[in-house]
Amino acid sequence: AGSEAPGPSQGTSVQEQAEDAAAAIAALGAPGAVAFGEGFGALVVLDLLLRRPGLLRAAVLADPPLYAFAPDATRALAEEHGRLQERVSAGGPRAGVEQWLGGRAGDDALGRALDSSAAFFADYAGLASLPVTRAQLRAVDCPVVVLTGPVSGVGELEAADALAELLPGARRASDGDRIAALRSLL
């Protein structure tokens, strides 16, 4: 709702994307919606839960990269960031996307990411842009499924476990079944 895709040297933030999502939900006349977010999108949905109580009635957070509560994931992410920088320096943005997503995404998803590497790096830059406390997470007042699957990275698994422990009444699912997770909230 009014924001543009970031330029090559710009990023985006979770809050910026959450404001756009909130505006879209309002424009559709759909308060009380059930939201699904994966990866960066999981942080966007989480921000809606934190800053817009009552806007959503439930949410699925798939592979949430909330690394602030996952110390081992933070170390692994720092190492991955170094490898990513090396690949971008050696082969350009597409090589960086391949480094990051290789083995974690199917061919179709990888192809889309390769074709829109600027958007990929905008999301990557936004991963650390959600300031959140344990107290804020404990105050979330709606059903949430925290979902991972067979191709989830170690960092996402650790972050999902930590998040599920902090969100009151959250259900942790590790089968990757998005449809079942959504159905359980309807």
HSE-CB of 159 using CA atoms within 13 angstroms:
26
Give the per-residue SS3 of the chain.
Answer: CCCCCCCCCCCCCHHHHHHHHHHHHHHCCCCCEEEEEECHHHHHHHHHHHHCCCCEEEEEEECCCCHHHCHHHHHHHHHHHHHHHHHHHHHCHHHHHHHHHCCCCCHHHHHHHHHCHHHHHHHHHHCCCCCCCHHHHHCCCCCEEEECCCCCCHHHHHHHHHHHHHCCCCEEECCCCHHHHHHCCC
What's residue 154's pLDDT?
A: 84
Average pLDDT over residues 128-143: 91
pLDDT of the residue at 14: 92
Mean of per-residue pLDDT scores for the chain? 86
Give the mean pLDDT of 103-126: 78
pLDDT for 8 equals 46
Q: In the prediction, which pLDDT does 186 show?
A: 85
- Closest Cα partner for 144 from 165, 127, 126? 165
Whole-model pTM: value is 0.79
Phi, psi angles (nearest 5°) of residue 91: -130, 5
Pick the more confident residue, 154 or 16: 16
- Output the pLDDT for position 20: 96
Find out whether 61 and 46 touch, Cβ atoms under 8 Å.
yes
Which one, of 35, 75, 76, lies nearest residue 52 by Cα?
A: 35
pLDDT of residue 16: 93
Residue 10 has a pLDDT of: 58
What is the pLDDT, as a whole number, of residue 79? 79
9 pLDDT more than 50 = no
Q: Report percent pLDDT > 70 for the chain.
A: 92
Q: What is the mean pLDDT of residues 29-53?
A: 93
For residue 171, name the pLDDT band (cuts at 50, 70, 90): very high
Mean pLDDT, residues 96-115: 80
pLDDT of residue 7: 46
Q: Decide if 137 contacts 112 (C-beta within 8 A).
A: no
